[in-house]
Amino acid sequence: MNQAVKGPIKAKHQRLVLLVVALVVLVGAALLAAWALRNQASYFYVPAEIVAKPPEPERGVRLGGMVARGSLRTEADGVTIAFAVEDGKARVPVRFRGIVPSLFVEGSGVVAEGHMGADGTFVADNLLAKHDENYVPREMKDMSREQAEQVMRETK
């Protein structure tokens, strides 16, 4: 015999329904966030990876490596530079238009943010120059260690 449920839902069942609804909402929010950020992720590549399997053109990526010696040149407009980034295995040509960081020199580390152009050149929108652990500010380059320590004590 089939009896209809009379009265309110049991507390045990209410908790189960609430848990299922909360889980569905949480999964939905995670999927919505992942879908919204799908094109915003900026992946990091080294030159060997970009040469082996280049990302699709116009996809935002980061290219990291060393600025190849002898590759840095300024274009005729004075604000566009062209150089190559290498990692010991491959070389990728890069073009950047804008103000170059003061630490950006040949042989130094660099992270370029941008996208691959259709011609195989990486078009950088932003350059981040990296320095090694022996970095010394330009103003302190000609100071002795004692003089540099004295300046540091005075600025505290």
Please say if the pLDDT value at position 108 is more than 80: yes
For residue 82, which phi and psi values (nearest 5 degrees)? -125, 140
Architecture in CATH of 43-130: Beta Barrel (2.40)
CB 131 within 8 A of CB 108: yes
Q: What is the mean pLDDT of residues 36-49?
A: 76
- The confidence score (pLDDT) of residue 122 equals 94
- The confidence score (pLDDT) of residue 4 equals 57
More confident residue, 3 or 59: 59
More confident residue, 7 or 1: 7
First-to-last alpha carbon distance for the chain, in angstroms, is 86
Q: Is 147 left (phi over 0), alpha (psi -120 to 50) or beta?
A: alpha
Residues 6+ away with beta carbon under 8 Å from 96: 80, 81, 82, 83, 112, 114, 123, 124, 127
Q: Supply the mean pLDDT for the chain.
A: 83
Could you state, in order of their start, the residue ranges of all structural domains in the chain?
A: 43-130
Please say if the pLDDT value at position 1 is more than 60: no
CB 113 within 8 A of CB 64: no
Helix (H, G, I), strand (E, B) or coil at 47: helix
Q: What is the pLDDT of residues 120-145, one digit of tens each?
A: 899 999 998 876 556 566 666 677 77
Residues 6+ away with beta carbon under 8 Å from 11: none
Instruction: Give the chain's count of helices (H) and strands (E).
Output: 3, 7
